[in-house]
A = this chain, B = another copy of it.
Amino acid sequence: MKTTSFQVKTGSKPAIVDITDRVENFVSGEGDGLVSVSLPHATAGLALMELGSGSEDDLWDRLEFMLPRDHRYRHSHGSAGHGAAHVLPAFVVPTLTLPVIGGEVSLGTWQRIAIIDPNVDNPTRDVVLAFLTSG
């Protein structure tokens, strides 16, 4: 199994960051297998979604409805909304496993691998990649 990890700047505002290229480069030329993409964090998630056409703001709107970034949470420290960020991974999973066929991640035309990070207190995030081949 081939593994790596890297850091991504997500800044001090809620951010959606495209990491598709990093995952694609990691498995390029590596044949067939399953690639795991994981965030070792408790206040962010991953999504496979179209980026660049407005769905980012649509997602924040719906997250604000479902998980308002206010002070209602028991788990409350740091900036407003920290408690919401801790509930997010139950719905927006922090780990995805994707098929790789002939060194290419099997994604649809409009699918991108995105970090969904509502947390304004962690400006950088780690990403762990692991590629398991058929041997």
Contacts and interface: CB of A to CB of B under 8 A. Distances in A.
A62 B67 contact: yes
Query: How many protomers of this protein does the assembly include?
Result: 3
Interface residues of A, number: 61
B111 A130 contact: no
A75 interface: yes
A39 interface: yes
A34 interface: yes
Contact of A62 (B34, B41, B87): B87
Contacts of A65: 66
A33 B133 CA distance: 10
Interface of A: prevailing SS:
mixed
Given A58-B75, A75-B55, A34 B86 contact: no
A116 B90 CA distance: 9
Contact of A91 (B92, B110, B134): B92
A76 B54 contact: yes
Interface string A1-35: 10100000000000000000000000000001110
B101 A86 contact: no
